[in-house]
Chain A
Amino acid sequence: MRNPLSEKIVNIKPSGIRKFFDIASEMKDVISLGVGEPDFDTPWHIRDEGIYSLEKGRTFYTSNSGLMELREEICKYIKRRCDITYDPKSDVIITVGGSEAIDIAMRAMLDPGDEVLIPQPSYVSYEPCAVLAGGKPVIIELKNENEFKLTGDELLEAITDKTKILVMPFPNNPTGAMMTRDELKDIARICVEKDIFVLSDEIYSELTYSGDHCSIASLPGMQERTILINGFSKGFAMTGWRLGYACGPAQIIAQMTKIHQFCIMCAPTTSQYAAVEALRNGDKDVALMRESYDQRRRFLMNEFREMGLPCFEPYGAFYVFPCIKEFGMTSEEFAFALLDAKRLAVVPGSAFGDSGEGFIRISYAYSIEKLKVAMGRLREYVEELRSR
């Protein structure tokens, strides 16, 4: 029999989290700080709107690009939060989570051999999506001393004649890094100068703890070369609803819509109705969740200080990224040993790229009570390692 599989697919590495997941889910009494989704339930008024839409029998496809009502709300929301003007008729597409938007943006824009710059550590799907779209991922290794932000020099060094897209994953999963307007200006200037498009994944934009998020698309000359990706999963605690969106130049959105139309048809209708409610009346829920995340963030930073575990202060998302290099173990070894010895699950930084080696990702999408127990276990472990 012939090999049934595509070589391209087989050669893509599975996510580094998988084997951890398998081991940790077999163990008893495990406390996990390994989850990349909010611990809050979707605010009730949003769920209620979803239920109501079902009651009213809104169980059919929507248009390919999504409900016009939702696209309009998204444009209003982006106007109010980022001061960028998009046309709901042509510049927006509703997708199945931010993940689908990443995938179809790359497929709409890449030709074989086009290079995609991917700063790492970052979310695990950019690299495989670039490969699947026929592009060539080029990794930029972000550095701890820059607090895992992308600098102009790092960007310039990675650019070649083939560079087409720069992925901007900020606020960042797994490091929690966010970039300020001034820092983004440098990057934007280079992108304009070198004629590079930006895929800006802003899924954590609502979760920043030191000033508001700035979208790179709002900088001069950038709107026409940026695909802004966002969604409802993180800010509104709606991961399971699978709803995201992309905004950008009409000609790119039109091609993305073509792929979406053939592969997906449309994003889930119930979720779209719920999302309209989220954007209309959800600001105060987001503010409450943000305040709660910020308290946990401060709590963890204080714990690390007391443990003497070096960690730069992250101001975005719900992750901290402490350094474990002092123990002379790889991130994976550390994470496995911690799981084994203390039943505490964290994600090795190396799962998010080689430059995450020597770090672990700790999620604070957990209650303070749970974080307290977890930090107790981590502290014990760190002290045991040091006294060896």
Chain B
Amino acid sequence: MRERILNYIEKNSRVDLKELAVLLGTTEAEITQELSDMESEGIICGYHTLIDWDKVTTDRVNALIEVRVTPQRGHGFDDIAQRIYKYPEVNATYLISGGYDLLVSLEGKTLKEVSSFVSQKLSTLENVISTTTHFVLKKYKDHGTILNADTTDERMIMTP
């Protein structure tokens, strides 16, 4: 049941719980219990809203930054990752396999904010060897949702 609840709310966390109980064939009480259990167990970490900010304002940019670092004995990448993700500007931080070590995402900043974060904060950190900043030019799909999707129903109105 947990996985079925999660699969559903991952796409639509605003669903009415009574309705969700009907859709999954269970009771509202069970859903409420499972949700609050999963919240306190840290399985559900938050409820967010997917926004196409490009339709609201033009001066927000998103950036993905590749960071190469020197891992530390005894701590690996965790300490340096923490020093980076603690900055409130940072939206996501991942340890990555391949040509660089950390992928840092900044969302909804102005161009100036991104550049000053990278040049003044990120690159100056001890253990950071180099950074490569990529600006997102256009979002086609985010969180499994196609932005600007055409959703007209092309089926005939009635078929046997």
Query: Which residues in A have some Cβ–Cβ distance to B below 8 Å?
Result: 15, 17, 20-21, 24-25, 30, 32, 34-37, 39, 123-125, 173, 291, 294-296, 298-299, 302, 345, 347, 351, 368
CB distance from A50 to the nearest CB of B (A): 17
Is the Cβ of A39 less than 8 Å from the Cβ of B155? yes
Is the Cβ of B25 less than 8 Å from the Cβ of A15? no
Is the Cβ of B160 less than 8 Å from the Cβ of A32? no
Q: Report chain A residues within 8 Å CB of B160.
A: 15, 17, 36, 123-125, 173, 347, 351
Is the Cβ of B158 less than 8 Å from the Cβ of A298? no
Interface-central residue, B4, B158, B159, by most chain A CB under 10 Å: B158
Does B51 have its Cβ within 8 Å of any Cβ on chain A? no
Q: How many residues of B contact A (CB 8 A)?
A: 15
Is the Cβ of A37 less than 8 Å from the Cβ of B22? no
Query: Which residues in B have some Cβ–Cβ distance to A below 8 Å?
Result: 4, 7-8, 19, 22-25, 153, 155-160
Is the Cβ of B155 less than 8 Å from the Cβ of A21? no
Is the Cβ of B25 less than 8 Å from the Cβ of A21? no
User: In the bound complex, what is the Cα–Cα distance between A36 and B22 (angstroms)?
Assistant: 24
User: In the bound complex, what is the Cα–Cα distance between A278 and B156 (angstroms)?
Assistant: 24
Interface-central residue, A30, A34, A124, A294, by most chain B CB under 10 Å: A34
Is the Cβ of A345 less than 8 Å from the Cβ of B159? no
Residue in B8, B22, B157 whose CB lies within 8 Å of A25: B157
CB distance from B68 to the nearest CB of A (A): 35
User: In the bound complex, what is the Cα–Cα distance between A227 and B156 (angstroms)?
Assistant: 30
User: In the bound complex, what is the Cα–Cα distance between A30 and B158 (angstroms)?
Assistant: 11
Excluding A17-B160, A295-B23, A298-B25, 6 further A-B contacts by CB distance (< 8 Å) are: A17-B159, A20-B158, A21-B158, A24-B158, A35-B159, A368-B23
Q: Report chain B residues within 8 Å CB of A123.
A: 160
10 tightest CB-CB pairs across the interface, nearest first?
Answer: A34-B158, A295-B23, A21-B158, A302-B22, A32-B157, A36-B159, A124-B160, A25-B157, A35-B155, A24-B157
